[in-house]
Structure 1
Amino acid sequence: MNFIGGSAFPKQSDIRVRQADLGRDGTVSTIGMARWLEDARLRVRLPRFEQLVGAGGFTPFHVLLVSQSVERLAPVTRVDRDIQVRTGVRRVGRSSFTFVHAVFAGGKEVGSGEATVVLHGAAGPLPLPDELIADLTDLQMPELSQSAMTRPGDERRQRDYYPHFTPLCARIGDVDSNQHVNFIALATWYDEAVAAFTSKAIEVGEGGAVPDLPPWSYRIQYVGEVTYPGTYEVGLLVRSFDVDSVLYELGVFSGNTCLGIADAVGARGELSARSLETYLTGRLG
């Protein structure tokens, strides 16, 4: 993403690296960075809208994510200092708006992301009130070169599109105040599916070391609610690969119903061209 310079962001959140943010290689994982972006969004104050809600002037609602993206651009470790998430608003629509983030460590950009949000009422998405639009306009960024996330084609919602599946069960600890599985927990499911795929492709035996090849970027679209209790599957297809990286397409399914879609890019590592081509063409189940 091209952000014109970190100083253009209207909000800034200081970050401390926590042990839970680290991946197996000792650097901050993509999921850990996604948590930072969530924390930064929660710190943004919307005074006019908050006053409206506090006065009972707005109908009951839940805050839901329509989509999000996160990308690690450089490694961050526990010894790094001056870590900040800088936040602004990229787009304001009639019923949704999009946060945009850049992560800096020691003045260097090490990550980025976006999140599109809707206010959801009993009958569906709610029009944004004037008070919220005014607050968001105060946070709006200059014109950015990054285009909006495009919605995947309908074929991505079809179960038979994916040649590899990983079964997963919702856990009660994943359920948030909206009474569904939290979007951060869902992101870990995609990590789990990639790990299961790489283990199978490299033929790791029982008790063997699982390759450490988690994605460094995600672009996620939320289609339906994942609830507890429930048993689900994450489908995976290798879209393309080169010498260094693999582009995955993933989908969360309950039976034949698609509840979420993601694009992910991760390291190729020990994955052979032969194993990747097998899942690229769908010859293995």
Structure 2
Amino acid sequence: MTATDNVASPAPSLFPVLLEHTAQYSDLDPSRRIGRDTLVRWFEDARVQLGREALDADLADRAEGLVRLRVVAVRVDVLAPLRIAGQYRIGIGVSRIGTSSVSYRYGVFAGDECVATGATTSVYVGDDGSAAPLPDELREQLGRHRIAGPEAEPPERDSARAREAYPFRLDVRTRFGDLDTNRHVNNVRLATWYLDGLAELHLDVLGYPVGGPLDGLAPSSLSVQYLGEVHYPGIYQLRVAVLDIGDDDIVRYVCGLFDGPTCVGLAEAVGSCHATDADGEPVDLAAALEPFRLRG
């Protein structure tokens, strides 16, 4: 059993909107495959396109704050290696419409093969920045692109909101380039912080090899909850812990992002604890990761 065995593999015909996309060199990670953070960005591009088609809203409208949907959760699952060669198609549909929130489902296709799936949830905000009911017109427009699909929200863990529960810490300073048009750190950029935190943990365990962590350790699944805004300037604490190491050699991680004692973001990731070193020898990290289990 692999980390993605329980993830449905949809067909392109399921999605009401399909975007053609050519992968670029900058989309690659050190393993020469499309990065997980790149997929989160592709999902954002797909939402913008859906906004053009369903909401008659372009980037200028979004820049002026006329489309007030804020991402609160995102999930990405990699089902097969994504390489630079060839064209991809990104499918998007609306999987749920709530009182003040809307959820989207995604599929990434190489030909007709689904190589990644995803989901996001966004909340409609009013003039004061708090959640507000979706306008009837917006609800109707989104309803034209309905699709069956799961929610993006990961399970809640009370212990994950306590800084002291995490044995591994990384301080992150926000940069001006991290900001989006809402003048807070963009959700795609925040997703990369959690991936950086996992990479730093792997470096610590492996003894900081030149070139970064070994191929094969990048998570196959990443799920993020955005609990509060992250601002510039600022220094935040990113905490990382191991939730479980299974008999199937799959390791489950949890990350918490803290502004002082306040938890402003949570993430869970699933990956392998096996990799191959530069000499082709297998590396088993299970024992080395044991001291980094979540406390409490």
TM-score bracket, normalised by the shorter chain, equals 0.7 to 0.9
Determine if contact 2:70/2:123 at 8 Å carries over to the other structure.
yes
- Aligned residue for 1:121, secondary structure, equals coil
Q: Distance in 2 between matches of 1:108 and 1:66?
A: 29
How far apart are 1:266 and its partner, in Å? Answer: 2.3
User: Which among 250, 255, 259 is matched to residue 250 of structure 1?
Assistant: 255
Q: Say if 1:65 and 1:117, in contact at 8 Å, map to a contact too.
A: yes
- 5 Å matches for 1:233-272? 233-242=237-246, 244-268=249-273, 269=275, 270-272=283-285
Of residues 74, 92, 103, the one that matches 2:108 is: 103
CA distance in 2, matches of 1:103, 1:47: 19
**Structure 2: which 5+ runs fail to align?**
1-6, 276-282
Distance in 2 (CA, whole Å) between partners of 1:23 and 1:189 is 14
C-alpha distance after superposition, 1:159-205 (max 9, x if no partner): 11211111111011001111101011101111111111111112226
Match for residue 275 of structure 1?
288
Q: Distance in 2 between matches of 1:147 and 1:116?
A: 7
Aligned equivalent of 2:193: 189
Paired AA for residue 275 in structure 1: A
Matched, 1:120 2:125: yes
Q: State the 1:72 CA deviation.
A: 1.2
Q: Give 1:232's aligned amino acid.
A: Y
Structure-2 residue corresponding to 1:14:
20
> Which one of 221, 224, 228 corresponds to residue 224 of structure 1?
228
Report the identity percentage.
32
Q: Secondary structure at the match of 2:102?
A: strand
* Equivalent pair of 1:202/1:271 in contact (CA under 8 Å): no
Mapped to 2, the partners of 1:85 and 1:130 lie a distance apart of: 28
Residues 126-157 of structure 1: CA distance to partner in whole angstroms, max 9, x if unpaired?
A: 2111111111111001x44x356344132221
Pair 1:69-2:75 in alignment: yes
Give the residue type in structure 1 aligned to 2:138: L
Task: Provide the C-alpha distance between the structure 2 equivalents of 1:73 and 1:47, rounded to a whole number of angstroms.
Answer: 28
Residue in structure 1 matched with residue 145 of structure 2 by the alignment? 139
* Structure 2 residue aligned with 1:200: 204
Return the offset for 1:96. Answer: 0.4
What letter matches 1:257 in structure 2? T
1:220 and 1:260 in contact (8 A); partners too? yes
Pairwise CA distance, 1:229? 0.4
Please give the per-residue CA displacement for 1:233-278, whole angstroms capped at 9, x wherever unaligned.
Answer: 1111101124543211001011111110000112322353221111
Q: 1:94 aligned to 2:99?
A: yes
CA contact (8 A) 1:46 1:136 kept: no
**Bigger shift: 160-169 or 272-281?**
272-281
**What is the distance in 2 between the residues matched to 1:38 and 1:48?**
15
Shift of 1:45: 3.7
Residues in 1 aligned to 2:126 and 2:67: alpha-carbon distance in whole angstroms: 5
Q: Aligned pair in 2 of structure 1 residues 47, 197: CA closer, same or farther (>3 Å)?
A: closer
Matches within 5 A, 1:150-161: 150-161=154-165
TM-score (ref. length: structure 1): 0.88
> What CA RMSD, in Å, does the superposition of the two structures yield over aligned residues?
2.4
CA distance in structure 2 between the partners assigned to 1:185 and 1:256 by the alignment: 22
Counterpart contact for 1:61–1:120, Cα < 8 Å: no
Aligned mates of 1:147, 1:171 — CA distance in 2: 31
- Report SS of the residue matched to 1:136: helix
Say whether 1:23 aligns with 2:58.
no
> Which of 175, 184, 187 pairs up with 1:171?
175
- Alpha-carbon distance change, 196 to 3 in structure 1, aligned in 2, over 3 angstroms: closer
Partner SS for 1:185 = helix
How many residues matched? 273
Residue 121 of structure 2 contacts residue 151 of structure 2 at CA under 8 Å; is this kept in 1?
no
SS in 2 for 1:215: coil
User: Are the counterparts in 2 of residues 246 and 267 from structure 1 also a CA contact under 8 Å?
Assistant: yes
Deviation of the 1:103 alpha carbon:
0.7
* Among 27, 36, 39, the residue aligned to 1:33: 39
